[in-house]
């Protein structure tokens, strides 16, 4: 498979969202981690730089499997549907939320506050607890970085409002 640069933004397709829940496609760990965190807030190249061990080839695998698509192509097919964040977090698995939240806690909150959030994440023993932490995470993000940052994260979770 030929690797190229990925200077455009990508979003998860419906198949990609389903894959997060089902985990039926055999993906390398870096490719799966890319699938979990990718959204249109960064280019593909930027996401590759953020996800440990990932490469352009991992992004190519996600594209070939139609688990992600360029943002422009996805926007052309999008029929607006109101999805509150409380509904969006229900589409995530425990493992997917765990991976996303631990990654984002370190990135967005720094050493001390990030560590405290990770302790809350580690304290979750079931999906309902992880979903509650995800909703609290959105609120903490809003307080620390403003409504725009919280809105981008809600979108990353799959919410449209």
pLDDT in tens, 25-72: 888 999 999 998 888 888 888 888 888 899 898 988 888 888 888 886
First to last CA, the chain: 38
Nearest C-alpha neighbor of 48 from the set 106, 2, 3: 3
**Sign of CA pseudo-dihedral 136, 85, 19, 7:** negative
Q: What is the pTM of this model?
A: 0.55
- Look at residue 155 in the predicted model and tell me its pLDDT: 84
Q: How confident is the model at residue 9 (pLDDT cuts 50, 70, 90)?
A: confident
What is the rounded CA–CA span in Å between residue 59 and residue 28? 11
- Does residue 116 carry a pLDDT above 60? yes
68 SS3 class: strand
Which pair of structure tokens corresponds to residue 3?
């690797």
């Amino acid at each position: 498979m030929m690797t190229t640069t990925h200077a455009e933004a990508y979003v998860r397709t419906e198949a990609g969202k389903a894959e997060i829940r089902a985990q039926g496609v055999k993906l390398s760990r870096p490719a799966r981690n890319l699938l979990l965190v990718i959204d249109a807030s960064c280019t593909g190249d930027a996401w590759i730089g953020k996800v440990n061990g990932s490469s352009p080839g991992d992004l190519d695998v996600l594209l070939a499997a139609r688990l992600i698509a360029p943002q422009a192509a996805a926007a052309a097919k999008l029929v607006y549907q109101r999805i509150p964040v409380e509904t969006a977090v229900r589409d995530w698995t425990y493992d997917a939320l765990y991976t996303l939240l631990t990654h984002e806690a370190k990135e967005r909150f720094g050493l001390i506050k990030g560590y405290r959030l990770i302790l809350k994440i580690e304290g979750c023993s079931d999906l309902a607890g992880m979903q509650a932490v995800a909703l609290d995470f959105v609120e903490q993000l809003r307080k620390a970085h403003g409504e725009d940052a919280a809105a981008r994260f809600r979108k990353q979770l799959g919410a449209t409002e």
